């Protein structure tokens, strides 16, 4: 049997190929030379699988899709609070290259418009001899899993016509948002935009965000969880230029587009999506890219606001065991977050006080959030106060050391069936 996912992606591309709306971006002369017919799509899962279709080996410049990652890098380097002093998180509702600042704070409104991205670029910490753009290239290469390079032609072409970005740089220097040479910073920012990627690279990068900052294969922590949350939040509210509200309602996936025709999207815990088609609309977003995202979101139920009600299914089964039928077993499944823990504890509340043994089996859980672990052990303590002996079976080791802290004596690592033999 072959999974139908690749066929589905091919089908989506063939449907969207007919859409020839939009124009090649020409304010960067080199981008106007792009082949308008190129079309590619890649989808990655949070556990690391990558599917791709169309011109998936074609390289294009990352342009504004570099902005969330420059932001991620400086958040990692300086911490969220310090970065917030320099760049805000409010949607601007203005064009990406508007020469504007937050009127009250005198800082750029967010890191996804050029004023915010240029300021963010200036915050990248480097060691002597390494430029900020190079530092970001290395960081993106690590996320993409291959060595990325700069497109010198696109860089030179944009530098020749970078009057607006230079104006933004000078304006930022005037108000003190930049404390170094604005020409050097704008130059570095334009180099950052000229890093070459394929849709597969973008899908590789996206899967790290979808997986909470951990490399899906090695488990290595590449980005702090709080940084991932910050970046995705800003992508959601500000990632699609002045069409962010339209995008949020129709597609509902945190995303960032670039004028080269790419869009990168991340649905936390689920998928990363990257598309490429160079014709863009009046906001600078890829026309076919939007079309593809709209179809994927609708067909695969990916809209962020369509939460799945998993709480009702947290208890897989509940039964009596032991020679005298005096051991109460709760087998749990799925993900234990707040709503599932609340449902579990509400069920446990029905247990009458007494000295029965209660076994909570975590074997079929796929994930326990910290709040889930806290509520679980709070429930254990309350059951103990009612006179019960309580055992948590964690044969797959899903609880982290930190989550178990102080509760290790109630956790057993044996298989459930093995543990229950004691009562026969
Ligand atoms: N390098 C481009 C600029 O700053 C990027 C714009 C974009 O992709 O939206 O003008």
Please report the pLDDT score of residue 303 as a whole number: 94
Contact between 229 and 71 under an 8 Å Cβ cutoff? The reply is: no
CA–CA separation, 332 and 314 (whole Å)? 5
Please report the pLDDT score of residue 3 as a whole number: 85
Which of 300, 364, 303 is CA-nearest to residue 336?
A: 364
Which of 224, 223, 332, 275 is CA-nearest to residue 43?
A: 275
User: Residues comprising the binding site for substrate?
Assistant: 64, 114, 158, 165, 189, 241, 259
User: Residues comprising the binding site?
Assistant: 64, 114, 158, 165, 189, 241, 259
For 293, other C-beta atoms within 10 Å of its C-beta total 28
CA–CA separation, 151 and 39 (whole Å)? 20
Q: Whose CA is nearest to atom 6 of ligand 1?
A: 64
Contact between 73 and 136 under an 8 Å Cβ cutoff? The reply is: yes
Instruction: Sort 175 into a burial class: Cβ within 10 Å, 0-12 / 13-18 / 19+.
Output: exposed
Pocket of ligand 1 from Cβ distances under 6 Å: 63-64, 96-97, 114, 158, 165, 190, 193, 258-259, 284
Ligand 1 centroid vs 155 CA: distance in angstroms?
Answer: 11
Ligand 1 centroid vs 13 CA: distance in angstroms?
Answer: 25
Q: Phi and psi for 359 in degrees, rounded to 5?
A: -110, 125
> Which residues of the chain are under the pLDDT cut of 70?
none
End-to-end Cα distance, the chain: 43
List, for residues 152-193, the tens digit of each pLDDT value: 999 999 999 999 999 999 999 999 999 999 999 999 999 999
Contact between 199 and 52 under an 8 Å Cβ cutoff? The reply is: yes
Ligand 1 centroid vs 259 CA: distance in angstroms?
Answer: 6
List, for residues 272-281, the tens digit of each pLDDT value: 999 999 999 9
According to DSSP, the residues that pair with 263 across neighbouring strands are: 257, 275
Which of 217, 300, 312 is CA-nearest to residue 265?
A: 300
Active-site residues, by number, are 64, 67, 189, 241, 259
Q: Phi and psi for 174 in degrees, rounded to 5?
A: -60, -40
3-state secondary structure of 162: coil
Contact between 267 and 256 under an 8 Å Cβ cutoff? The reply is: no
- Residue among 29, 98, 259 to mutate when testing ligand 1 (max atoms within 8 A of CB): 259
Please report the pLDDT score of residue 2 as a whole number: 81
Within 13 Å, how many C-alpha atoms sit on residue 260's CB side?
29
Contact between 283 and 92 under an 8 Å Cβ cutoff? The reply is: no
Residue 308's contacts (CB-CB under 8 Å, 6 or more residues apart) are none
User: For the chain, which domains are there?
Assistant: 5-306 (3.40.710.10), 315-423 (3.30.750.24)
Contact between 253 and 267 under an 8 Å Cβ cutoff? The reply is: yes
Please report the pLDDT score of residue 242 as a whole number: 78
CA–CA separation, 124 and 7 (whole Å)? 41
Please report the pLDDT score of residue 46 as a whole number: 87
For 306, other C-beta atoms within 10 Å of its C-beta total 9
- Residue among 27, 96, 163 to mutate when testing ligand 1 (max atoms within 8 A of CB): 96
Q: Can you state the percent helix, strand and coil of the chain, rounding each to 5?
A: 45, 20, 40
Read off the pTM. 0.88
For 55, other C-beta atoms within 10 Å of its C-beta total 19
Please report the pLDDT score of residue 265 as a whole number: 98
CA–CA separation, 93 and 16 (whole Å)? 28
Give the DSSP H/E element, type plus range, for residue 377: helix 370-385
CA–CA separation, 264 and 208 (whole Å)? 12
Which of 31, 57, 43, 36 is CA-nearest to residue 287?
A: 36
Contact between 283 and 313 under an 8 Å Cβ cutoff? The reply is: no
Using CA atoms, how far residue 69 sits from 228, 316, 322, in Å, is: 10, 40, 55
Ligand 1 centroid vs 126 CA: distance in angstroms?
Answer: 23
- Residue among 63, 111, 239 to mutate when testing ligand 1 (max atoms within 8 A of CB): 63
């Amino acid at each position: 049997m072959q999974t139908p996912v690749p066929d589905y992606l091919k089908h989506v591309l063939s449907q969207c190929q007919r859409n020839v709306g939009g124009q090649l971006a020409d304010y960067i002369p080199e981008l106007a030379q792009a082949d308008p017919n190129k079309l590619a799509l890649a989808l990655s899962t949070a556990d690391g699988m990558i599917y791709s279709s169309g011109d998936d080996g074609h390289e294009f410049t990352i342009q504004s899709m570099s902005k969330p990652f420059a932001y991620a890098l400086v958040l990692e380097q300086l911490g969220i609070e310090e970065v917030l002093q320099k760049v805000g998180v409010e949607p601007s509702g203005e064009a990406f290259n508007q020469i504007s600042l937050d009127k009250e704070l005198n800082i750029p409104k967010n890191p996804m418009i050029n004023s915010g991205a240029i300021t963010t670029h200036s915050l990248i910490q480097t060691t002597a001899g390494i430029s900020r753009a190079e530092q970001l290239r290395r960081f993106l290469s690590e996320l993409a899993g291959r060595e990325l390079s700069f497109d010198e032609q696109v860089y030179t072409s944009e530098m020749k016509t970078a009057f607006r970005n230079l104006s933004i740089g000078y304006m930022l220097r005037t108000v003190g948002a930049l404390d170094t040479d604005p020409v050097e910073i704008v130059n570095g920012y334009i180099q950052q935009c000229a890093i070459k990627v394929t849709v597969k690279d973008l899908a590789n990068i996206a899967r790290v965000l979808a997986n909470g900052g951990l490399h899906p294969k090695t488990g290595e922590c590449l980005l702090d969880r709080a940084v991932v949350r910050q970046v995705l939040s800003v992508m959601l509210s500000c990632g699609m230029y002045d069409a962010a509200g339209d995008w949020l309602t129709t597609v509902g996936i945190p995303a960032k587009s670039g004028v080269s025709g790419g869009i990168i999207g991340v649905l936390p815990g689920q998928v990363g999506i990257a598309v490429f088609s160079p014709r863009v609309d009046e906001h600078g977003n890829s026309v076919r890219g939007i079309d593809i995202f709209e179809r994927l979101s609708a067909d695969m139920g990916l809209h962020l606001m369509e939460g799945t009600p998993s709480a009702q299914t947290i208890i897989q089964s509940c039964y009596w065991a032991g020679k005298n039928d005096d051991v109460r077993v709760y087998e749990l499944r799925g993900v234990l977050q707040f709503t599932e823990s609340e449902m579990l504890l509400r069920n446990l509340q029905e247990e009458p006080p007494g000295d029965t043994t209660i076994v909570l089996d975590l074997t079929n859980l796929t994930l326990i959030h910290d709040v889930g672990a806290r509520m679980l052990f709070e429930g254990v303590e309350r059951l103990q106060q009612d006179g019960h002996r309580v055992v948590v079976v964690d044969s797959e080791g899903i609880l982290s050391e930190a989550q178990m802290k102080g509760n290790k004596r109630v956790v057993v690592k044996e298989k459930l069936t093995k543990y229950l033999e004691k009562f026969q």
